Structures are given as C-alpha cells and as structure tokens.
Chains A and B, each alone.
Chain A
Amino acid sequence: MGAQPKIDTSPKVSDEVRRTTCYMCACRCGINVHLKSGKVSYIEGNRDHPVNKGVLCAKGASGIKQVTAPSRLRAPMRRVGPRGSGAFEEISWEEALSLAVEWMEPLRDSGPEKLAFFTGRDQSQSLTSFWAQNFGTPNYAAHGGFCSVNMAAAGIYTIGGAFWEFGQPDWEHTKLFVLFGVAEDHDSNPIKMGLGRLKERGAKVIGVNPIRSGYNAVADDWYGVTPGADGLLILSLIHCLLEAGKIDLDYLARFTNAPLLVRSDEGAEKGLFLRNEAGKPVVMEGGKLVPFDQKGVRPDLGASYEGHRTVFAHMAERYLSPDHAPEAIAARVGIPASRIRGLAAELAHTAFDAPIVLDREWTDFRGETHSQMVGRPVSFHAMRGISAHSNGFQTARALHLLQVLLGTVETPGGYRFKPPYPKPAEAHPAPHSKVTRGKPLDGPHLGYPRGPEHLALNPDGSPVRIDKAFSWENPLSAHGMMHMVIANAHAGDPYKIDTLFLYMANMAWNSSMNTAAVMEMLTDKGEDGEYVIPRIIYSDAYASEMVAYADLILPDTTYLERHDCISLLDRPISEPGAAGDSIRWPVVEPDRNVRGFQSVLIDLGARMKLPGFVNAEGKALYADYADYIVNHQRRPGIGPLMGFRGEDGTGEGRGAPNPAQIDRYIANGSFFQAHVPDDAAYFKPWNAGYQDWAVRVGLYDAPQPYLISIWSEPMRRFQLAAEGFGDRQPPDAMRARLKQAMDPLPVWYPPFGDDGAEDYPVHALTQRPMAMYHSWGSQNAWLRQIHGRNPLYVPTKIWEENGFAEGDWAKLTSPNGAIVVPVAHMPALNPHTVWTWNAIGKRKGAWALDEGAPEATKGFLLNHLISELLPEKSDGMRWSNSDPVTGQAAWFDLRVRVEKTTPPSEAQPAFPKLDLKGVQA
C-alpha cells in the first residue's frame, strides 16, 4: 500500500449563507441557504431557529431541487385552446394583470359574490383574506376545510386552542405521550424532535392508529384502532376514569365549566347556563348561588338548584352509562376491552401518581395566588386521522375532554398553548358575509359562530357562500369548505359564479374528492356554449394538474425568491414559551418572468382601488408585499410582524412601522421571539401574569380569562334551533341530524360513510409520506426516488383471503366507483383497513414528469372512490360528504371492497395526457 492520499478536510463551504424560512410544509423551519456563485448550493437547518433548532427534514434538505425543477412555470399565460388542452400563449405581466382586472373589477359592482377566491397551501391568509374582504366577496377561504378544521375548531370551542400551531405537549416534562390518529405526515420536525426528547428521557409513547408506520412505528405500545371509532374509544377511557374516580376535581372546579348550572326549565333557554342579573354564569357554593369568577370561590361540582344540575353531573352521568363501558364497544373499536382498561389505568397512574410540581408562584384570574404549579404529565397529540371523519369534530372534542378530566391542559407535563393561543371561540371574530355592491364585506369571512345568528344565510334561509359554509348543513365551518366550491359552482347551487380565483390548490387532482367528475365540471359547457364556470384564474409556481384548467396563469416564485411573513395575525411560529413570527426574503432572484403571488395580489388590489390597498387619492399604498409587511397596520401599532417595531426598532408586538424591520429580521435569522415570563408559562387561560403579558405584546387588547367548555353553549344554541326555538330555523329535514351532531357534550355516532356500506367491509385511508408532507409536488428529483410509487397496503387477513402475492393488483370498489391498483402486504395494520400514500399518483404530462413515470402509470388516487356528496336524504337532497358540524371533508369515512384482478397495463382509471410543455421550464 502506498502513502495515504492527502485530502482537503477544510474546504470552503460556500460564498455566503442566507438565513430564511422553509416552505416545504407548514412547519416553517429556519434554514441556512448556502450560495456559491450566486446559486443555491446547499440547504441545512438553522440552529438558532425556535422551530427546528438546526434539524431539517427530507423535504427541507431537498429544497434546492424546487428551484431547478423543470415543472416551474416560466411566464404569465392566457388560455388559447379549449380548457384542459394545455394550449396557452405567453403574455406580459401588464396584459395578465389587466385581464384579471377586466374580469374581476366589474363584479364588485354587479355582484361581488360572483368572484370565488380560494387559496390552498397559502401561508399568507391574513393578506389574502384582507384582500377578499375589501373586494367584497363572501366567497373566500383557504384549505382548512379539506384538511383538519375539525381538529382546529373542536379545540377552539373546547379548550381555546388545538394541536400543532395552537399548542403542543410539554416535551420537557411529560412522562406519557399518546398520539391519536396522526397521519405519518403531520407536524414534521417539531413532533420528531419531541419524540426524540421523550425517547432520550425514557418517557413512554403510545400510538393509537390503524397504521403502524412512522411515529407509530417507534411507539412503545400500539392500539390499531378501526377507523372512525376513535371517539368511541376515548369516551370509553373517560368511562373508566370516572368509574374509578381518577379525575382532577380541583382542576375541573377551578378552570372548567364543570361547576356551572345547566338550565333544566323547558323553553328557549333549556340547556344554557344559569346566569345572574348581570348575565354572568353562576355556581353553587355552600348552598348559595355565586358568580363563577368570585375570589376564593369553591364551587360544588355536584350541586343542583331548582332542578338545574351542573355540567359535571350531566357529563358524568352520560359517560358512566354502561354503553360506554369497554366491554360494550370493544368490537366496534377493534381493541379488546382489557386493553382499553389497561390504557385507562396507565393514563390515571401517570397523571395522579407521578405529578410534576414546579415551585413557581402564580396568581389566577380570581386573584388567588398559588405557591406551586402542579401538573399531570400525560400529553396527547392528534391530527387528521381522527378529524377527517364525519364524526371528527365530536371525536376531537372527546379527546380534549379526556385531557381536561386528567387536568393536563396548560399544566406542567401536559399540553401547552402557543401564543396567541389560548383564545376561545368568544375571542375570535364571528363569520361575516354581508355583501354590499361596490363595498367591502362587513368583516372577516371566517370565524367562530356562537349561535344561529352568526350563520351566513340569506333572509330566505339559503346559504350566502358558494361553499355553503356557515349554513345549517355545516354550521361551524370555521375554515370554509374549499372542497365544495367547484361542485357547487358547477351545479349553480346555491348560485352560479363568474370567476374562480385559486392559489396553490390542486383542485383538478389530489385536493378534490371525485376527481374525474371535477375535471368534467371544469370543462363542462352550458347550452350557450360557454363554460359553466366561466373564468378560472390560477396562481402556482409549478405545472400542476390544475394549471391545465386555468384561463389565466399567474406564475408564482419559489419560496427562496420571495418575501413572506409568517404572522401572529395568521399562523405564527410560536412556542409555548414565546410568541414568534418570521419572514422569507429573496435569497436568490428568479431566473424567469414570475412574480410572488402576494405582490401580484397587492398590485391587483391597487388597480381595482380596493380599500386598504389605495390611499385617499386612489394611489397604491404598497409597492409590493415587502412594503405591505412593514407598513400595513391592522390595528394602530399592530402589523403583520411583531418584532423590531417602532422608529427605533425596540417595539415588541406594538409600535409604529419601522422601515428597517425586514433588515432587522434578516440579521436575526429571519425570525423574532417575544418570551413569556416564567410565572406566566403555564395555566395561561387563567394566569393573570400571562394575560397581562399578552396584552402588553398586543395579542389581546384586554385580559380574557375563560373557562374550558366541557359543555358547549354555542352548540347547544344550534340544538335549540333544531328543537324549534328561535327565529332562525333549520329546514325540517336537517333537524334530526343537527340534534345529534350539535350535542353540547362530546358524543360518538357512526361515520356517515357506514350508511349503506354493508357491501364495502374495508376502510380505506391515505397519508402523505413524511418525506413529502405538504410539499408542493412530488416532482422533486430526490424525493421521487424515495417515494415514486404508492401501492395499496393490505393487512394480512385481506392479503390471505384474496390469495395475493407480490406484484398482484386489486380492484377497489366503493359506492362511488372503482380503481385498479398494485398491492403490497403490510402486517402492522388494522385487519379491516387498507391504505396508500396520497398524491404520489400524478396525471400524465403534469409536473414535467415523463409520460412513463411510475407516478403516472402505477400511481393512483383514492379520490376517485370518494364522492363529494352523500347519498340522497329524505328531502331529496344530497348533502356534502363532510362533518355535519364543521364541513371538514370526510376523506377517511371511505369504505371499499377489495378483489384480486388481472394486472392492467397501468393503474385505472387512466386519463388522457396533459400537454403542459408550453407553460414550464
């Protein structure tokens, strides 16, 4: 052997590192973008960043391929051939913007609702909603309706926040962590980092999920629940805890509405809280009625007063009933009763036998000072697995009730809110939908109704919104219902629209139910020979399937070429111990004729002279998005970014606009944090220290302590309407469903997909792989080598029954249709469930992939099997295939039949190739 070669172990890494924010999913991690000769050479996590502390997922580290992707749109385009043909001509930005204005501006005066503006993977909702509001259309929402609004809304209505950006486990203290229905793809780096910390400390992780992959693969114990039955399981755990008296009575009495009295007198107030003359709910103490927030009050949880009983009594009686016993529900849940009782015992032992005690003094909203913070070290996380069912809202509420009974919400070792949460429904706006031609809408579109008075209904009871959000069909649709827009606009139900304006939403493919039918709706013409949906404007950075159906394409930049703000007004990047926000900035310039969509929207707003976008003289207020980020004020002193405000840049949360704000962010790694004081770190909804801090930094304008809603008065108000009380009355055909769904206490009912599913015995699910979660397009050259195929994963029982072997194909049939797809065996799976990776399947010609790409020949979508409508009901109507409370798309209600079949040449159904060569590269 010769001499060992000499190598350079200290090569220069790059010319420059620019720190910005990732956009490969909604985690919004900090990234260091290395540049060589002005080009991106390497991307790694930013160690100083609060979200990811240096780590980065598979997507984030592949961001370089997002910039060089051949599917990138190259310039503005106008459709010149039939819709869907891919025949476009390149036009200038001036032509594109003029055309958009020509289409949209007249609608402001003739009928603002004729513009439907819906955004998908939008991280600028505080701008897009502000724009839509000032245009005056009631038809605006982002993608929450087909994502996870059940999780968000159930959390807001129950505890004042939910999981992920709303709050997270106390990773440092928790001893038992239970994951419910988290698809493999959710809450990417934060949850992985949290799991790593738990593993390091030897804390226990339990997974409740039909599929044992991803996070569930590392869980110490696995409960392979049958889809749609999570709520039944949770309520049974509650049954066990109540039966054994293992609940935190002190917590319930102090911080929840458990001691409030529920009126029992017949009439329009039945089921609402007993209040004093000042309108304040009352509790019983020593046989007397006192206001719930009186200093030193020790309410009697078991009291009754003139027949009015406490929330606690109502709740306990319901869940103690034998039909919630593990033995009664085990078969439907797919988990033996003994294991359910074992899980309940584990929760109780950890919560009550091993409390976390911090010697930290704090004062509650009643003025009582506590010398310690005592917590219950059990924490939970849940996401789409439990929420994407038609019983998902109530299931998510049940999970919050379980946390509350254990006393874990906002206590050490439990669940912690991230500012601006806690924020209960009452602290959010109600939805607004009053249209005045030529004027802005009367307020923000989206919000949290407190009762039927907040529904978006016309005087004749018909829905105001094109998606029918906030109607009797889905009263609490806090995120809108984007998945219904195309179907409703096509059907003219409730009315026809003129222009459909979409941003970053693949509605012609994986983001729609019943995809094949949606493609037909997009190209369908009326008797007059015109398209039924007359105009479609679409903005995206890549040649997705949806691009083919646009009449006007507004090409967006990639995330490395733009300004953005991740705002406290929207979905910030806070941690339990700090409010936080961040920016993106152009770390490289685009090499083509594209513009950041937000700057384009601001330009369009100014051209149409929308209030908020022009000054009194009608001149544009903002040059571009960066200018808006710095200078827009939502309330005096409160703008999109909280950091470095005021003329000297020292303002935190409040302060005048600072012209140097973006530079200050860039110098700080593109983020800002305002830290919560130690004595305000827990018990936030009731902690005077936290409430005062939140006012100081501009999250609230006044302290807003509240009680956790075990019993939901807003829901009871809708139930009262269904019982015939009040001015606003639902259609008769909907009364029974409302009475069931709007139960003020968490309840379980079978998913609607079970109706008529006798011939479809198998549940079918999807999840995105971790390496592609939320990432916009699987065309990424590195990631598609990891996940370029999506077989249908089949459990052993079904595998053996069908005599499947490797390489086989199956026909999958649902009440809505059939698909033919490749199969693979997966033993670690609920025996009645099959699943596949979502959105790996691509249409031929899209995303600049070769016609023979496995994504286009063997990849497939389950979407074809899912109808956007339920079977016809007694009123002759077909209601949306969504949760009856929030309108969340019920993707996971899907039931199928699996049969072995002859392998076709490619997955079925196959669609004609899209010709998008002209718009990309």
Chain B
Amino acid sequence: MTCLPGHTEKKLGLAIDLDTCVGCHACVTACKGWNDQGYGVPLSDQDAYGADPSGVFLNRVHGYQVQPDTGGAAQTINFPRSCLHCEDAPCVTVCPTGASYKRVEDGIVLVNEDACIGCGLCAWACPYGAREMDADAGVMKKCTLCVDRIYNENLPEEDREPACVRTCPTGARHFGDFNDPTSKVSKLTAARGGFDLMPEMGTKPTNKYLPPRPKDQRQEASLLAPLLDIEAKGFAGWLDRILGKI
C-alpha cells in the first residue's frame, strides 16, 4: 500500500482533442521511439516478426464507430489512450512496494523500476488499461509524461514537451499545468468543455479530453435561389441575366 501526496505543486498533463485526432498513430510510435531509449528499461517487443507480435506501448489509439442517438450518420471517433496521471490514482495506492508513486512537484505518476516486482496489481487496479507489463524485464511500464524530456536541459526549450505532443501532426495533443488557470490546457479545457474519462471511477484524472464538435449540422434553410425561371426564359435568357450583372 503506497500513499498519494495530498497536493501537488503542479498538475502536469495532456488535453487531447477528439475533434482533431485523425487516428494516425504518430503519437504511438513517437512515444515508443523515445521511451525505448528513455526512462527505465526499453519497451520490448515479443515475436516482433512472428505470428503473434506483442510489445509494450505507453500510448495507443483506438477507433470507435458511433451511431448518434439522434439518428444522424454514423461517425468514427479516434481515441488515444495513455496514463491520465490521476489525482486519486488507484495504481499507486495498490502498489505493495512503493514502486508506483505520484510526484509531489508535478503530479506525474511514475514507476520506480528498481522497486517494481512485476506483480501487476497496478495494471489490474487501473480502470483505463493504461499500464503494460514489459515481458522481457518483468517491470511495469507506463506513460512518464516524458519526464526525461520536459525538464531536460540537454534539449532546446521548445522541445521540452512529451514526444507525443511534439510529433502530433494535427496538433491534437496539448501539454501543460492544469493547476495554472492561464495555461493553454486549462483554457482549452474551459473553452471546449474538456471532460474526465470515466469520472464515476473516482480517480480524478488529470488528463482531459476535448469532445468532438457537433457534426453533420445541416443548414438547408439558406439554399440558393435560381436567377430566373430557366425553363421559361431559356438559356439565352439566363445568359442575358447573368452577364447583365457584370
């Protein structure tokens, strides 16, 4: 049993725009690439060229088909999923060794791999399926919010953001401090009605999802009016009318 900090100085996290995500998986492999050589052990792949390849990804994108209740056209929603860095993170409190912890300074939920025994309790406790066991190293892996990028003095200032945010081609991923009401993520969340994933779980996720804007809104009231009755006036009549407008 591990304790959560009562309060964190910052609440770093992501605001993910479901209105803009095209499901391209750029964030998935940028994350894999960075973290394969970043914090902790590499993200191993098993049977990489085989019949049942499986590897660790700290971020995955799922596509869903949605049929609106209102009866409109069906939609495809792309939904990136990774650790939400919850305030009440059940993955931390369930950890028997203290390996899982939430950082006091920024709220990032991390795994101290030296203390992780690979029991997998945290993955069971996480309602979001955000943790993945590394089969090679036997330790639990999860999104670190690129803790080895965001403060990294060896990187140019503009690159001190998570790899998934830096790479996202549509700009659907935003990084910042949710404790700061003037931050971009706080403002976007306020403006766009950013929501918690599965709030009923009581985990108080830090990451927010910005909902898709309403789709298929038709404006049939403003249809174009014909210049004139072409059937009655003929093509010559149409030509005279339109060119008279020059």
Contact = CB atoms under 8 A, between A and B. Distances in A.
28 contacts: A1-B98, A2-B98, A10-B151, A42-B33, A42-B37, A43-B33, A44-B34, A47-B158, A55-B169, A56-B26, A61-B32, A188-B169, A192-B170, A196-B20, A196-B169, A199-B20, A212-B76, A214-B23, A217-B75, A220-B215, A244-B227, A316-B242, A320-B235, A770-B23, A782-B32, A784-B53, A828-B74, A854-B52
A555 interface: no
B74 A212 contact: yes
Interface string A238-255: 001111111101100100
A217 B147 CA distance: 32
Interface stretch (A101-109, A489-497, A845-853): A845-853
B166 A54 contact: yes
A784 B73 CA distance: 31
B58 to A, nearest CB: 13
Interface string A820-840: 000001111100000000000
Contacts of B148: 7-11
A813 interface: no
A57 interface: yes
B49 A771 contact: no
A821 B96 CA distance: 47
A781 to B, nearest CB: 4
Interface stretch (B82-90, B120-128, B175-183, B216-224): B216-224
B155 interface: yes
A57 B24 contact: yes
A1 B26 contact: no
B108 to A, nearest CB: 10
A243 B24 contact: no
Contacts of A785: 45, 53-55, 57
B153 to A, nearest CB: 5
Interface string B55-89: 10100000101110000011111100000000000
A434 interface: no
Contacts of B38: 11
A70 B50 contact: no
- Does more than half of chain B's interface fall in helix, strand or loop, or is it mixed? loop
Interface string B1-37: 0110000000000000101111111101110111011
Contact of A249 (B21, B159, B246): B246
B243 A301 contact: yes
A634 interface: no
A411 B215 CA distance: 29
Contacts of B55: 781-782, 785
A770 B24 contact: yes
Contacts of B230: 243, 320
Nearest to A213: B76
B215 A222 contact: yes
A215 B103 CA distance: 38
Contacts of A42: 33-34, 36-37
Nearest to B78: A217
A788 interface: yes
Nearest to B113: A5
A215 B37 contact: no
Interface stretch (A76-84, A340-348, A692-700): A340-348
Given A9-B152, A301-B243, 4 more contacts: A11-B154, A243-B226, A786-B25, A848-B49
Interface string A34-57: 001000011111010000101111
B101 A4 contact: yes
Interface string B82-122: 00000000000000001001011000001010110000000
B51 A852 contact: yes
Interface residues of B, number: 92
Contacts of B241: 245
A349 B47 CA distance: 56
State the 4 A-B residue pairs at the shortest beta-carbon distance, nearest first.
A852-B51, A827-B74, A192-B169, A244-B224
A346 B66 CA distance: 26
Interface in A10-48: 10-13, 36, 41-45, 47
A338 interface: yes
Interface of A: 1-2, 4-5, 7-13, 36, 41-45, 47, 52, 54-62, 64, 70, 188-189, 192-193, 195-197, 199-200, 212-222, 224, 240-247, 249-250, 253, 300-302, 313, 316-317, 320, 338-339, 341-342, 344-346, 348-349, 770-771, 779, 781-786, 788, 796, 825-829, 848-854, 857
Contacts of B150: 9
B225 interface: yes
Interface of B: 2-3, 17, 19-26, 28-30, 32-34, 36-39, 45, 47-55, 57, 63, 65-67, 73-78, 98, 101, 103-104, 110, 112, 114-115, 147-148, 150-155, 158-159, 163, 166-172, 212-213, 215-220, 222-227, 230, 235, 238-243, 245-246
B171 to A, nearest CB: 4
A11 B152 contact: yes
A169 to B, nearest CB: 15
A249 B34 contact: no
Given A770-B22, A784-B53, A196 B227 contact: no
A11 B151 CA distance: 10
Nearest to B33: A61
A346 B246 contact: no
A152 to B, nearest CB: 24
Nearest to B72: A222
Nearest to A338: B220
Contacts of A10: 148, 151-154
B17 A199 contact: yes
B235 A55 contact: no
Interface centre among B24, B37, B66, B225 (most CB of A within 10 A): B24
A655 B85 CA distance: 57
B164 to A, nearest CB: 10
B32 A192 contact: no
Nearest to B73: A222
Contacts of A196: 20, 169-172
A54 to B, nearest CB: 7
Nearest to A779: B49
B49 A346 contact: no
A64 B224 contact: no
B33 A62 contact: yes
B177 to A, nearest CB: 16
A302 B240 contact: yes
Contacts of A786: 25, 28-29
Nearest to A57: B26
A827 B77 CA distance: 12
Contacts of A770: 22-25
Contacts of A300: 243
B32 to A, nearest CB: 6
A373 B214 CA distance: 34
A58 B172 contact: no
B216 A222 contact: yes
A835 to B, nearest CB: 13
Contacts of A192: 22, 24, 169-170
Contacts of A852: 50-51
Contact of B171 (A13, A200, A222, A783): A200
Contacts of A779: 49
Contacts of B219: 342, 345-346
A873 B236 CA distance: 42
Nearest to B222: A345
B227 A218 contact: no
A59 to B, nearest CB: 8
A60 B163 CA distance: 13
A344 B224 contact: yes
Contacts of A342: 218-220, 223
Given A317-B235, A770-B23, A827-B65, A1 B17 contact: no
Contact of A5 (B34, B50, B112): B112
Contacts of A344: 224
A217 B77 contact: yes
Contacts of A70: 49
A568 to B, nearest CB: 25
